[in-house]
Amino acid sequence: MSKKIVHYINQFFAGIGGEEKADTAPEIQEKVIGPGLAFQKEFGEDYEIVATVICGDNYFGSNIEKGVVGELLEMIKKYEPDGFIAGPAFNAGRYGVACGTIAKAVQNELGIPVVTGMYVENPGADMFKKDVYTIETKDSSADMRNSVPKMAALLKKQIEGQEVFGPAEEGYMERGIRVNYFHERRGSERAVELIVKKIKGEEVYTDYPMPIVDRVAPAPPLKDLSTAKIALITSGGVVPQGNPDHIESSSATKWGKYSIAGMDHADKADFMTVHGGYDRAFITEDPDLCIPIDALRKLEKEGKIGKLMDYFITTTGTGTATNNAKRFAEEYVPMLKEDGVDAVLLVST
Amino acid sequence: MKLELGKVHVKDVQFGDCTKIENGVLYVNAKELEAEVLSDDRLIGCHIELARPGESVRITPVKDVIEPRLKIEGQGCVFPGVMGKVAEVGSGVTYCMDGACVVTVGKIVGFQEGVIDMTGPAAEYCPFSQTQNVCVVIEPKDGLETHVYESAGRMAGLKAATYLAKALADQTPDETVTYETKPLLEQVAQYPDLPKVGYIHMLQSQGLLHDTYYYGVDAKQIVPTLMYPTEIFDGAIVSGNCVAPCDKVTTYHHEHNPVIEDLFAQHGKTLNFMGVILTNENVFLMDKERHSDMTAKLCEYIGLDGALLTEEGYGNPDTDLMMNCKKVTKRGTKVVIITDEFPGRDGKSYSLADLCDEADTMISCGNGNIVIHFPAMDHVIGMQDYVEMQIGGWVGCKYDDGSFDAEIQIIIASTIANGFNKLTARGY
Amino acid sequence: MTKMYKLVTNNRKAFLKYENHAYIGVEFLEEQDYLDVLIQTRDRIYTGWHLMSHPQASNLKPNQCPYKTILISKGRAAEDFVRDVELIESSISAYHKFTKGMIPPCWNEKALDDFQTVDLSVVESAVNSSLMRQMMLSNM
């Protein structure tokens, strides 16, 4: 009997449509669709793609809290697959995050081998490469012909219980797991060879690359708090009622800027929280716990701070990729500077 | 300074009426050896057991491993300042018992140290699974203060090695290696076109069970200093370290320092080996600043183009490692680090306790947190009652049949951080 | 008068030995664990104290030894504030790295006693360092 595979793709690769169809709800079809054809060819006769799960990228992103992952898992489980493929997503950010999320869930909940693939700068790569095998692809679907054989081979190896080699041999992104092996030469001998090369300016390698630490030098202290203009920023997911800009409840890809002009506190009639990483009951009841407008207005009245900026900036911190977080700041910091903000109060949850 | 190391190959070890080497077999008079060890009144019991490669034997808890060596020509004795007068060593002729070791075994403190398996999966990780081992199993007097007992255990091994080394006196070495380092200016002149390379050797010096001795002096008392490489082959450095078996630099590993051996192997070929800078791993942060400054200064002063840098241990020493790397590099000497890794049970955390941008060329001696299975052995030298309390073990890691699971950090010198082994790690 | 140096510790042996010391005070976190000592030390650093001994002193990793003693000072500093924070924070991450998914060994009384002795010995190698002694003598 052949091994059963389920394949996950988005609305675009399913041929349903582009951005305008990104709200497509999950569905499953018992046939091979789009990139699945290439996978089926690569797998050969002993494997069969028994079903293809399709979900719109926006639908996936905005329904994580509402249980889209569980819904998809139920659909997939029915087929009792031996392996699962998501994507490849190339450079499509939301698709990449969806592929990583569902692949991780299938791996953990169904306990079967999974593989996904995407471009190294896809935010999904940073978020999931440590958890699931992620084949490194180029940034567009033109790379399909290279990516599919690697993904198929890696999935087959796992299903058949063969040894999975390192990232260089298999083509997946390093998961950061340190694995032992016996080299043919002892360490001191290799080190002696390296020092000579390093002195001569020749190319050297390192067994253990240092993690890159993004250090930010602390800003100089304020000269005078009593004249300073202060802005409020939170990663606590507090947004106006109705979440007008659809900020995600986890793994945010955007931030929002909302007015607090004239407010003496944050009222529950005006604000809600969409954050998926804590018990929302308390902040739902009193949003000041996360955006302390009440306390800041008091300080403003007492003359302890100069002025509270009449808007605040918000996003959701949980699961948000660091490169997205960095991008948010790069987007709003020039605006804060232009508005003459002297300091910001960062409220986390 | 020039030293001729005469290696007498030992292929087997047996008990005998008198201690001697004949046709590559070391015969041990156990009674005499026991009496020698028991001359220390801090010990009330001692017995000798033998363990050979391939035998179904487990040795645990292990305190130290020592290769017997004997000074034949030249001043001083092996283990100067400890087993004899404080006199400079490293010149003349020294014989060594190549392939045989003294292994000191016995309860050290409440928590325990180290395993050597003579066969099975764990043997692949341990250099002493391949040597003929004379195990000195000791028992201390009741109520001995911990510092005093540590000292008694350390001396028992050194005494046993010194006793066995006497058997080398009438031997003809099977193999002779000559090592020479000239005074600085002459050494520079000998190979003017080759890059000048040194070795920064960091000695464990944090306190009880974390100490190292140079000519008998506790290494935390020294300031960074220059050493002729051959001094180490005569036992100028003795281990007093007894925590974290996997990256413990045993006295054997000082006698066989692989960085020094491999630098000599390339001396005059691809590099000019200038000498060793000894420094320490003190816990007082001001000492760290001062000693890393001095180490960097010495590198600059003697004109090194490059240096190899090794540490002993994890945590506090990683900070010295990084401070030395940073300062030495900034002062114009290129650095290659050798270290081992502790990325946690899932292998995903950062492997070291500190970091710096200059640490861009590192040799890894493996991940100590990997778990393997230790099958039951027919015979245990020492006791394995304490496996659950040994570093690398945990509650419930023992099975009824005498086998157990543990991290490889329980194995003596499995990830020793000076490149002695072939074990290494890569990112998956 | 407040003393310029202080041991933050959960080790009774360290407490008993230093409770009446002329220059060094003791903050004894009785019944608290290794992590509590790190957290308390971190909080002291944020309120103007400086690290004098390395918080990860000893080869015994946090899942191996239940005791920790750290020497800090108000007035003397070996490192700048940011470096102190880096050292203490990385010792806290190391604690989590070594305790996550690892079952701690079950120590007997003798082992616990020896751990106290080793921990004390390690911090005393800082207290007894020549420079530290001179600083205490000259009341610096």
- The string of pLDDT tens digits covering residues B204-235 is 999 888 899 999 999 999 999 999 999 999 99
Q: How far apart are CA B366 and CA B372, in angstroms?
A: 14
Q: What pLDDT, on a 0 to 100 scale, did the predictor assign at position A123?
A: 87
Nearest CB neighbour to C126, from listed B208, B241, B284: B284
Neighbour order of strands in the sheet with B92-98: B69-73, B92-98, B2-9, B175-180
Residue A216 lies in a domain: no
* Residue of chain B whose Cα is closest to the Cα of A165: B428
How many domains in chain B? 1
Residues B4/B177, Cβ–Cβ less than 8 Å: yes
Nearest CB neighbour to B422, from listed A175, A185, A199: A185
Residues B105/B383, Cβ–Cβ less than 8 Å: no
Q: How far apart are CA A90 and CA A135, in angstroms?
A: 10
In the stretch 33-52 of chain C, residues with CB closer than 8 A to chain B read: 51-52
* Residue of chain A whose Cα is closest to the Cα of B124: A182
Residue A71 lies in a domain: yes
β-pairing, A238-240 with A271-273?
antiparallel
Neighbour order of strands in the sheet with B334-341: B225-227, B272-280, B196-203, B306-310, B334-341, B362-367
What are residue A93's phi and psi, to 5 degrees?
A: -60, -55
Residue A182 lies in a domain: no
With 80 as the cut, is the pLDDT of residue C131 above it?
A: yes
* Residue of chain A whose Cα is closest to the Cα of B356: A210
Q: Give the number of other Cβ atoms within 10 Å of residue A254's Cβ.
A: 14
With 70 as the cut, is the pLDDT of residue C1 above it?
A: no
Tokens of B379: 């015979």
With 80 as the cut, is the pLDDT of residue A319 above it?
A: no
Same domain, A343 and A246: yes
Residues A135/A115, Cβ–Cβ less than 8 Å: yes
In the stretch 369-408 of chain B, residues with CB closer than 8 A to chain A read: 370, 408
Reduced 3-state DSSP string for A28-84: EECCCCCHHHHHHHHHCCCEEEEEEEEECHHHHHHCCCCCHHHHHHHHHHCCCCCEE
- A contacts of B321 (beta carbons < 8 Å): none
| Spans of chain B, pLDDT less than 70 | 110-112
CB contact under 8 A, A211 and B421: no
Give me the domain span that covers residue A97: 3-170
ipTM value for the complex: 0.96
Same domain, A159 and A47: yes
What are residue A86's phi and psi, to 5 degrees?
A: -125, 125
Residues B258/A190, Cβ–Cβ less than 8 Å: no
CB contact under 8 A, B363 and A174: no
* Residue of chain B whose Cα is closest to the Cα of C109: B110
Same domain, A22 and A166: yes
Same domain, A127 and A238: no
Residue A99 lies in a domain: yes
With 90 as the cut, is the pLDDT of residue A118 above it?
A: yes
Residue A189 lies in a domain: no
Average pLDDT over chain A, rounded to whole? 93
Same domain, A143 and A232: no
Same domain, A293 and A147: no
Neighbour order of strands in the sheet with A307-314: A256-259, A307-314, A229-234, A343-347
Q: Where are the alpha helices (DSSP H) in B166-282?
A: 184-190, 251-255, 258-266
What are residue B11's phi and psi, to 5 degrees?
A: -105, -10
With 90 as the cut, is the pLDDT of residue A348 above it?
A: no
Percentage of chain C surpassing pLDDT 90? 75
Confidence of residue A240 (pLDDT cuts 50, 70, 90): very high
Residue B118 lies in a domain: yes
With 70 as the cut, is the pLDDT of residue C140 above it?
A: no
The residues with which B58 forms a beta bridge, in sequence order, are B117, B380
Residue B426 lies in a domain: no
CB contact under 8 A, C122 and B109: no
Query: What mean pLDDT comes out for the span C26-32?
Result: 96
Nearest CB neighbour to B422, from listed A174, A183, A206: A183
Residues B51/B133, Cβ–Cβ less than 8 Å: yes
Q: What pLDDT, on a 0 to 100 scale, did the predictor assign at position A248?
A: 83
How many domains in chain A? 2
The residues with which A151 forms a beta bridge, in sequence order, are none
Q: How far apart are CA A219 and CA A74, in angstroms?
A: 50
Residue B415 lies in a domain: no
With 80 as the cut, is the pLDDT of residue C139 above it?
A: no
Confidence of residue C39 (pLDDT cuts 50, 70, 90): very high
DSSP, residue by residue, A106-123: IIIII---EEEEEETTSH
Residues A46/A66, Cβ–Cβ less than 8 Å: no
Q: How far apart are CA C1 and CA B163, in angstroms?
A: 58
In this structure, what DSSP letter does residue A127 have?
H
In this structure, what DSSP letter does residue B226 have?
E
Residue A138 lies in a domain: yes
Tokens of C50: 């400086």
Residues B370/B330, Cβ–Cβ less than 8 Å: no
- A contacts of B259 (beta carbons < 8 Å): 188, 191-192
Nearest-neighbour CA in chain B from A215: distance (Å): 12
Q: Which of A150, A170, A190 is the C-terminal boundary of a domain?
A: A170
With 80 as the cut, is the pLDDT of residue A105 above it?
A: yes
The residues with which B198 forms a beta bridge, in sequence order, are B275, B307
Give me the domain span that covers residue B79: 2-410
What CATH number should be reported for the domain holding residue A25?
A: 3.40.50.2300
What are residue A53's phi and psi, to 5 degrees?
A: -95, 135
User: Which residue in B148, B205, B165 sits closest to B66, CA to CA?
Assistant: B165
Q: How far apart are CA B64 and CA B403, in angstroms?
A: 24
Residues A147/B379, Cβ–Cβ less than 8 Å: no
Whether residue B423 lies within 8 A of chain A, CB to CB, comes out as yes
In the stretch 1-20 of chain C, residues with CB closer than 8 A to chain B read: none
Nearest-neighbour CA in chain A from B293: distance (Å): 21
Length of chain A: 349
Same domain, A237 and A334: yes
- C contacts of B326 (beta carbons < 8 Å): none
CB contact under 8 A, B389 and C79: no
Q: Quick check: is B356 catalytic?
A: no
Q: Give the number of other Cβ atoms within 10 Å of residue A213's Cβ.
A: 10
Cβ neighbors of A226 (< 8 A, separation 6 or more) are A303, A304, A305, A306
Confidence of residue A277 (pLDDT cuts 50, 70, 90): confident
Q: Which of A152, A170, A188 is the C-terminal boundary of a domain?
A: A170
Each residue of A159-189: b (16+ CB within 10 Å) or e?
Answer: beeeeeeebeebbbbbbbebbbeebeebbbb
Q: How far apart are CA B35 and CA A135, in angstroms?
A: 65
Q: Considering the candidates B242, B246, B299, B325, report the single residue annotated as catalytic.
A: B242
CB contact under 8 A, C105 and B394: yes
Q: How far apart are CA B199 and CA B308, in angstroms?
A: 5
Q: Where are the alpha helices (DSSP H) in chain A?
A: 35-43, 57-62, 68-77, 93-105, 123-128, 144-159, 167-170, 187-200, 281-285, 293-301, 322-338
Q: What pLDDT, on a 0 to 100 scale, did the predictor assign at position A19?
A: 86
Q: How far apart are CA B401 and CA B136, in angstroms?
A: 26
Domain limits, chain C: 5-137
Residue B117 lies in a domain: yes
Tokens of A179: 């694995």
Each residue of B93-108: b (16+ CB within 10 Å) or e?
Answer: bbbbbbbbbbbbbbbb
Nearest-neighbour CA in chain A from B416: distance (Å): 10
Q: What pLDDT, on a 0 to 100 scale, did the predictor assign at position C129?
A: 94
Confidence of residue C99 (pLDDT cuts 50, 70, 90): confident
Same domain, A166 and A271: no
User: Which residue in B354, B217, B319, B220 sits closest to C132, CA to CA?
Assistant: B220
Residue A203 lies in a domain: no
Each residue of B158-170: b (16+ CB within 10 Å) or e?
Answer: bbbbbbbbebbee
